Structure 1
């Protein structure tokens, strides 16, 4: 009499048994084996409690790290007390979220680092020099790299939380002449701490292709000054509060044709405090955007 055998596939087991099985595997084995296997496993391995033990892991296999203190306390400090960044010999990207000032002041960036991001952190001065290979940088303000303004960097992609127009023209374009992408969350005179205006017309961002400003807190004449330093800009996104000058179609048309002739994409959103006697004036300004230059 022959015996009957039933074959059970591992992926058909109930979650309870799978979770018990995962206890015998490291987090690296779990994700390497089951990540993207199917939707069920994708969700399961991201919801069960996992314990990460870096000690047996080869640090050279990590090419990026994201360390965060968000909704926690001193997690970055704890990690760095056990591991030195020098152990991660192939680390190319480092992101620190809500890092403490005293941790960053003694942080030594690895020489092969290509991308470094400070997110939701205080206005911190980086003490150790930025690496030669660094190309992508996110910082709270330009004060973070003030120490290195006497040097020239090879950074091509930069995101800044807050700065002033004077800082951009005098410091940033001098320090980072290879910029191709610049994202500024808040551009305002309030963030200004420069005093020397004699060199303001010297530096141009000749390689800059894309500029995004989420809150432009200046007048149109100030943007005109900035535009003269962007000879090869192709993509511009501009947002912010404004006066009526900022929504003058004729002024923009003249500026785009005279100073930003390479521009292919221009997206803008301006908030204006509407007044009762502005009806005709506002409507007239909107109508001026309805011509072949803007619609063609």
Structure 2
């Protein structure tokens, strides 16, 4: 049996493992049945490591077939292999038109360009995208490890899995939907605010703590203590690294064999 003769159910399952540009490049003109089928299935659009020609070709396909936008449930854009890909994509399409999007990822490159105009333009782009997150009713996951996001931007969204460079709680509001949060770093005060204003949070990872676990640390199976005392928070291995230790009535101590559980 030839591939195009397989039942639709099996074809749809196969297409779930393929990238949207590859699906349309390979099957769009094969026959009329597949032409209709690929325009009525959930699509994963991963533009990371996609050649510029393929990226431009699929963007043109979306423009000629507007119905495709509602079928894209996964979108990943990256500036690493193709500089300016994120900016190029949003110059053609507004994020809010992908109404069925469930997962959204942005991979930004650390540019050497330090000109003020570049950073101002980048911040403006981040603000525009952030303002549209609440307009995506099915968005479950947002991954942007180089971005800073204000809590207010997603306060009314359904995002549950969030990965950012920094999570700004300037506007304190309860974000009941977030259950998993990964950030590059935060201060003790910011960490306390995050814990207080994310009541559904089950998992948090702060990358700044990752270097704490060296191979030498793992070899000795050392435990880690977390101490919170009013506005001060400290993280250290046991045995205690300082010469003096002060215990106060307001101090709360926790210990763990891994910082992954912070």
Whether 1:138 and 2:163 are equivalent positions in the alignment is yes
Higher strand share: 2
> Normalized against structure 1, the TM-score is what?
0.48
Q: Which has the larger radius of gyration?
A: 1
The residue aligned with 1:155 is 178
CA contact (8 A) 2:147 2:164 kept: no
- In the alignment of these two chains, the number of paired residues is 177
Aligned position for 2:62: 54
> Does the 8 A contact of 2:155 with 2:174 survive in 1?
no
Matched residues in 1 for 2:89 and 2:200: separation? 34
Counterpart check, 1:111 vs 2:118 = no
TM alignment of 1:16-55, pairs within 5 A: 22=26, 25=29, 50=54, 51-52=57-58, 53-55=61-63
1:65 and 1:95 in contact (8 A); partners too: yes
Q: CA deviation at 1:61?
A: 1.0
Residue 133 (structure 1) shift: 1.3
Which residue of 225, 240, 245 maps to 1:245? 240
Q: 1:268 to 1:162 in 2, by over 3 A?
A: closer
User: What RMSD in Å do the two structures reach over aligned CA positions?
Assistant: 4.1
Question: Residue 94 of structure 2 corresponds to which residue in structure 1?
Answer: 84
SS at match of 2:182: strand
| 1:101 matched to 2:126 | no
8 Å CA contact 1:112–1:131 kept in 2: the answer is no
User: Within 5 Å, which residues of 2 pair with 1:274-289?
Assistant: none
Distance (whole Å) between structure 2 residues aligned to residue 102 and residue 24 of structure 1: 37
Q: Deviations over 1:67-87 (max 9, x none)?
A: 111133221111112112222
Q: Which runs of 5+ in 2 are unaligned?
A: 5-24, 39-49, 110-121, 214-222, 230-234, 242-252
- Structure 1 gaps of 5+ residues are 1-7, 12-20, 34-45, 188-213, 227-239, 247-257, 270-296
Deviations 1:55-100, CA, capped at 9 Å, x for gaps: 2152111111111111332211111121122221211111111183
Residue 151 (structure 1) shift: 3.4
Where relative contact order (Cα < 8 A, 6+ residues apart) is larger, the structure is 2
